[in-house]
Structures are given as C-alpha cells and as structure tokens.
Amino acid sequence: MAAPSSVKPSSAKSMEEWLLADGYSKHKVSIDRLLQLRVFLEVNDRKKETSYKMNTKFQSNMQKYLVFGGTLPREPMPLSVTVRLPTLEDLEAYALEQWECFLLQLINSAQAERLTSFSSSLMRVFQRGLLSARENEAPKLTENGFQFLLMDTNAQLWYIIREYISSSEDRGVDPTDLICFLLELSFHTLGEAYNLNTLTDVQKHAIKDLADLGLVKLQQGRKESWFIPTKLATNLSVSLSDSSSRKEGFVVVETNFRMYAYSSSKLHCEILRLFSRIEYQLPNLIVGAITKESLYNAFENGITAEQIISFLQQNVHPRVATKTPAVPENVTDQIRLWETDRNRVEMIPSHLYEDFPSKDIFEAVCDFAREIGGLLWEDSKKMRLVVRGEYHQHMRDFLRHQK
C-alpha cells in the first residue's frame, strides 16, 4: 500500500478505494495502530474530512533505510552447532522461575532462594516507588508496590523495562541503543539460538541483565556461546491488553470465600497474602480465605476492590474459567461492599471557627465561606462553623477586615 506523502495528506476516503470488499475491518485496525504508533498523523481540513499523513521523522528514516539499506536481521544458529536446545515448555518454565526469583528479590530478598546478579544500585532503581524504607526499619511495600504485584506479568515486565531504560544513562548507556535492541529482541524467534558474538559490547552487557529477568537463556557450547529468547522477550512487542500473552490461571474461589491456589510458587503465596488469610501451604496447593480483616488490611495498603477482583478473574483456574461468572458473584459483591463500608467516612482537613463577637459577624463569615465553597458545617445557636482547610488563609484575611 502506498504511504501518504508528507507534502500532501491522503484522504481517508481515497485510501478506502484501494480496499477489497472484505478488507475494511482489517484496514481500520491497521490505521488505528499506525495512529497509536504516531507513524500516521490525522489531519482535518476545512470541510472536516479526515486525511492522513506520514510522520516526517519516520518518513525520512524510512527513506534512508530504503536508499542506503539497513542491517540484516540476526539469523539463528544451525542445530549442528547448538546440538540440543531446551524445549518450549522447558524454556517457559525457566523464564517463569527467573522472573519469580527477581520479583521475590525485589519485594523481599529474604524470601528469594537465590539472588540475581543485578548491582545494589540497579535494584534500588527498580525498587524506586515500589518500596519505602525509614531509617533502621526494613523496607515496606508502597501503595504502588502492592498494585504492581497485582498486575499481570506483561505489565510488570514493561514497568521494570521502563525503569531499566530510564536509568541507562547513569550506567553510561545510550537509551536509544537499548530501546532498539529490546525491540529487535522482541522480533526474534522463540526458542531459537542466536550467537553472542553478533552483539555489540552494550548489547552483551544488557543480555546478561535480561537473562536475570528471564527474557533470554544463556548457553555455552564447546566453541560458541548463544542466547535463546523466551516468551517474555517475544511478548515485549505484544499489546498489554492482548490476552494471548497471559499465562494459565491457578486460583479457585468458592462461594464460602475459601480460596485454593494450585501452585508451588512462593511469589503466588506472597501475592495472595496481600488480600487473603493464608491458612496452610502444601507442595502444590495454597489454601486460604478471603476475610473482612484481610481485605481491610489490603485496602489500608492502597489496593482497591476492583484490583483484587481483576486479579482473581485473570488468574482463575482453567477448570472454573468456563463458568459464568468464574469468581462467585457473592464474593465479588462482598469485596466491593466491604470497600464501600470502609470508605463511608471521608476525612477532610478543616478548621473550626468559634467565639464570634456578634451574630452579624458570624453570619457574614458564614456567607463568605459559603460563597468560596469552603463551608462544611455551621451551628447558628452557638455561632460555630467548620471550613475546609485549604480556605483557612482566605478566612483569616476576611476576619481581619471584619475587625
């Protein structure tokens, strides 16, 4: 399909004329994606007709690539060199183990069975905003930290990758080079081996960090070394809303608020502990209950009812996933009710004004507080009123003039 020129935009109508009869829906999806990526820019003329033009920076880079050529994509190594590679199932298990190990170290290094090779300074960058630490106290999860743990793996991964990129200049690495490499990596073939000697020095350093996160698996042969992209790496180019990238669920919630998690993961246990009471843990099963006390503790830490319900729905066990609803309705309704029950009282910083010298001054002050939208409560008999805290200075100035 011809690309719209940066000189003269192409109208949406003229582009639709290029389509086959059954191609409209695919065309619309493609245009939306290009607009989201800012490859296309929308232009509206005086007749209010929609046209599209190509982003000038993208267009100039594309012209350079077409005229001068670009580097060829990295080719997988032949099986005769790599011999036996891990199966896709083994690779997925490795990626999950590495990612869970990293997350456990991130939130509670005491729970991690082994530590990654990330420097303490880089771990502090990852923990920024997720953990807070007071002097002589162990670090605690912040509100963002609790919410981070309830995200799906793809969203968590992108959060960490963004932090990794944003701190790259502190390590003497150009963020552009890092972004290009990550995007390139996301288009590698899952499970294929790629020679480490094809990487630049910056990429070789980054690949070790990515191995700690579970994005690649490093292997050593007799003469050559290689890396193998896992599903975490190939999912970097997948939309966060794409459900195909999500892993199989493990949680069963019953109508009596009992919860069974078919998992041996310490990380899963720590996450469920955020909003439920863990009763016991068997080799492949975590048993707990969703209680009023456990939910109040979660709400206190900044987790919302919708986040808890969303987590349970996204991680529901396949055996109950076909049920409608997969999480019992009485459980989700009660979680929401307990949240609203806790939020019935709203705390508003305010000031109490009393001991007015006369009724006239009291009424004038009440009128003024009402006009500025700060009046919360008044008692005419005892000449007292309560005003929002942010209007205190206005009130002081007004009272000074009344005297």
pLDDT tens profile 23-54:
888 888 888 888 888 889 988 877 778 889 89
Q: What's 350-402's CATH class? A: alpha beta
Instruction: Summarize the confidence of residues 339-357 as an average pLDDT.
Output: 85
Give yes or no for residue 256 having a pLDDT over 90.
Answer: yes
- Expressed in angstroms, the distance from the first to the final Cα of the chain is 77
Cis ω for the linkage preceding 139 (within 30 of 0): no
Q: Where are the alpha helices (DSSP H) in 37-87?
A: 56-68, 79-82
Q: Are 74 and 63 in contact (CB under 8 A)?
A: no
Q: Give the Cα separation of 246 and 141 in Å (integer).
A: 25
Q: Give the Cα separation of 136 and 125 in Å (integer).
A: 20
Range scoring the smallest mean pLDDT among 22-31, 77-86, 176-185, 235-244: 235-244
- 219 beta partners: 226
pTM given for the model: 0.63
Q: Give the Cα separation of 288 and 345 in Å (integer).
A: 30
> What is the tens place of the pLDDT at every residue in 132-168?
766 676 677 788 888 888 888 888 898 999 999 999 9
Domains of the chain, by residue range, sit at: 10-68, 79-236, 251-343, 350-402
Give the rounded percent of residues in the chain with a pLDDT score beyond 70.
90
Q: Are 286 and 278 in contact (CB under 8 A)?
A: yes
Give the pLDDT confidence score for residue 110 in this predicted structure: 55
